[in-house]
A and B are shown apart, each in its own frame.
Chain A
Amino acid sequence: MSNLLMEGLNDQDFLRYSRQIMLPDIGEKGQLSLRNSTVLMVGSGGLGSAVSMYLAAAGIGTLIIADGDKLEISNLQRQVVYRKSNLGQNKAIAMAQQLKELNSAVTVEVISHRLNEPELSRFINQVDVVLDCSDNLFTRHEINAACVKNKVPLISGAAIGWQGQLMMFSNQQRGNQKASACYHCLFPFTESQQTENCQSFGIVGPVVGMIGNLQALETIKYLTQPNWIKWSTIHQFDGRTLQWSCIDIPKDNTCSVCCPSQAFHHVSREVLQSKECINGEFVYE
């Protein structure tokens, strides 16, 4: 889909991305890596707003956005990619429009419904990295299972109130054994009476923006300097004190999702047919 390896950068590209190309750790090679990359972002709320704008601005090649919700007025306090004129529109479609204004060189693909299996795995199987920007534990576990199954890295963000969490999972195997932990190793439950979401607990805009920004940062790092990434970690942010904690996540050998005895189901690479093309964008309705 996005794997058309393009020629080198042109003069406009050098100008536009000059402030990151001039970093020796990115350079022209890193910029081309970004342009030749495909990222799946599930959820286009507060996390997704920050992630998508920074990745589009940085010149990511293809950004696939999945969200089935419509924009509500209570979203505008923190979901800063949207404008009032987007109220009532599907969020993924509205986001794609805003991103094209920001950087028309980015291919934005839209999934304007809730992305579930088996479709989820078909998309995950064709991307370089998955960003979990969703708002519920069920979806988070479904994304995790699909990333583990397809061995695709997962950069997961979450935020509520004044708190944020950033989690990094490589989902790569060493030999026959999966070397790293997965989201289910960390949170081995799908339901909790205290499962917190923005509807019931509130959220401070800059806190969710902070975590989204860091998801974008880690994505850019993964695509340009992958050895810098510290996988199997959870970073927790407290917006009240500005304190961070970084915690290592060991692999849980009893994990029902990623333990070695778990059979990995191979999902063949499929070419997805777009059902509709709106304003030059692919939309999967």
Chain B
Amino acid sequence: MSNLITIELNTVAYRIERIHSIHSFFSQYKVDTQGCALAMNNQIIPRAEWQTRGLSDGESISLFQAIAGG
């Protein structure tokens, strides 16, 4: 079985190692998450869970900014 999986971050596909957590994936690919919330399967993943939440083949991550304007 391949150790590589395909995931999407904001509709861009990444081929990554299966072992990644959300946090380690962001670290390795230097994704700037400042000011952002993260959703998977239409549900927010609290930041406290980014270290432990693993990634599976075919999953999509939506990373979006807090908007302040009004």
Contacts and interface: CB of A to CB of B under 8 A. Distances in A.
Partners in one complex: yes
A61 interface: no
A241 B48 CA distance: 32
Interface of A: 43, 45-48, 132-137, 140, 157-160, 163-165, 181, 185-189, 192-198, 201, 203, 208, 234, 236, 245-250, 252-255
A66 to B, nearest CB: 12
Contact residues on B (Cβ < 8 Å of other chain), bracket: 10 to 19
A164 B70 CA distance: 9
Interface string B30-70: 00101101010011101110000000000000101111111
5 contacts: A134-B68, A137-B68, A160-B68, A249-B44, A252-B48
A246 B42 contact: yes
A135 B48 CA distance: 27
Given A188-B47, A247-B62, 15 more contacts: A47-B70, A48-B70, A136-B68, A157-B70, A158-B67, A163-B67, A186-B37, A186-B44, A187-B35, A187-B66, A189-B66, A194-B34, A197-B68, A245-B62, A252-B46
Contact of B70 (A158, A193, A246, A250): A158
A252 B43 CA distance: 12
A135 B68 contact: yes
Contacts of A46: 69-70
A185 B70 CA distance: 20
B35 A185 contact: no
Contacts of B66: 137, 158, 186-187, 189, 192, 195
A49 to B, nearest CB: 10
A255 B46 CA distance: 9
B35 A195 contact: yes
Contacts of B35: 187, 189, 192-195
A155 to B, nearest CB: 12
A164 B43 contact: no
Contacts of A189: 34-35, 66
A192 to B, nearest CB: 3
Given A186-B37, A194-B35, A196-B65, A133 B70 contact: yes
B37 A187 contact: yes
Contacts of A194: 32, 34-35, 65
The 8 closest A-B pairs by CB, nearest first: A192-B35, A158-B67, A252-B46, A160-B69, A187-B66, A47-B70, A198-B69, A135-B70
Given A186-B37, A192-B35, A158 B44 contact: no
A264 B64 CA distance: 30
A252 B48 CA distance: 8
Contacts of B43: 247-250
A192 B44 CA distance: 19
Nearest to A157: B70
A45 B62 CA distance: 29
A253 B46 CA distance: 9
Contact of B42 (A48, A192, A198, A247): A247
